[in-house]
Amino acid sequence: INLVVFGFWQVRSLKPFMNRWFLHHPGSPRSITLLTSCFSHQEVMHLGMNMLGLWSFGGILHDYLGREQFLALYLTMGVGANVASHIFSLAFRNSRPLMPSLGASGAIYGLLAGTAFLYPHSSVSLIFLPFVPIKLGYALPALMSFDLAGILFKWRMFDHYAHLAGAGLGLGYTCWG
C-alpha cells in the first residue's frame, strides 16, 4: 500500500487529490486522513526509513501477536499517533504553525516500543551509527528523549507528538494488551 501511495505522489496531476486525501491537516474536517496519511510518504528517504522500521520490528511483533492482532495494533498505533498529533497541534497552534502530517512513523515507533518491551536485550544498529550495536532497552528511551527535546525546542523536522504517542500505544499494548 505504501509503495502504491508513494507512486501516486509522484504523478503531478494527482497532487491536489493526494493533498486532500493523503495528508492530515489538523484544521480539516476530514477525519479519514487520520488513517490514509499513515500509508502516505512523499519522499523516498521517508518511505525507506519507515519501511526499514516495519521490516526490522514488524516481523517480530507479527510472529508474537499473530496476523489479526498485529494488523489491528499497527492501524491503532498509526491512527492513534495521528490523533495525538492532531490534538497537540491544535492545542499549541498559537506557539507554532499548523502543519499537515503524513507517514507511518507513529506506527513504526509503536512497533519499536513493543519490540523493546518484549526483547530489551536485543541489539539494533541505527542508520547513523551502523556498526555500533545498541540494546533496544536503551535505544527506545534515547529516541523518545530526542522527541521530547524536539517538542521542548519546537523542532519541526519530525512529528514528535506522533512518535511519542505511537511509542506509548506500542508499550501499552505489549504491557497490558
pLDDT digits (tens, 9 = 90+) for 23-49: 999 888 899 999 999 999 999 999 999
Q: So what's the pLDDT on residue 95?
A: 66
Q: So what's the pLDDT on residue 76?
A: 96
The model scores a pTM over 0.85:
yes
Kindly write down the DSSP assignment for every residue of 21-56, as one continuous string.
Answer: HSSB-TT-S-TTHHHHGGG--SSHHHHHHHHHHIII
What structural domains and CATH numbers belong to the chain?
43-176 (1.20.1540.10)
Q: So what's the pLDDT on residue 171?
A: 95
Q: Calculate the alpha carbon distances from 157 to 7, 48, 146, 175, 176 in Å.
A: 23, 16, 12, 30, 32
Q: So what's the pLDDT on residue 92?
A: 78
Kindly state the cell numbers that stand for 142: 534515547
Q: So what's the pLDDT on residue 127?
A: 67
Phi and psi, residue 161, nearest 5°: -65, -40
Q: So what's the pLDDT on residue 128?
A: 65
CA 53 – CA 27 distance, rounded (Å):
29
Q: Which residues are catalytic?
A: 105, 163
Residues in the chain where the model's pLDDT stays below 70: 94-96, 126-130
Q: So what's the pLDDT on residue 27?
A: 84
Q: Determine the distance from the C-alpha atom of residue 112 to the mean position of all C-alpha atoms in its chain, rounded to a whole number.
A: 10
Q: Is 66 left (phi over 0), alpha (psi -120 to 50) or beta?
A: left
- Find residue 133's DSSP bridge partners: 125
